[in-house]
Amino acid sequence: MSWNYRVVKHTDGMGEWYFLHEVYYHKGKVVSCTEHPITPFGETEKELQAELELMKKAFDKPTLSYEDI
Please give the model's pTM, rounded to 2 decimal places: 0.89
The dihedrals phi and psi of 43, each to the nearest 5 degrees, come to: -80, -15
The mean pLDDT values, 10 residues at a time, for the chain of 69 residues are: 95 95 96 96 98 97 96
Q: Domain limits at 64?
A: 2-68
The dihedrals phi and psi of 13, each to the nearest 5 degrees, come to: -65, -10
Burial zone of 9 (CB within 10 Å; 0-12 exposed, 13-18 middle, 19+ buried): middle
Per-residue confidence (pLDDT) for residue 3, from 0 to 100: 95
Count of structural domains within the chain? 1
Per-residue confidence (pLDDT) for residue 1, from 0 to 100: 73
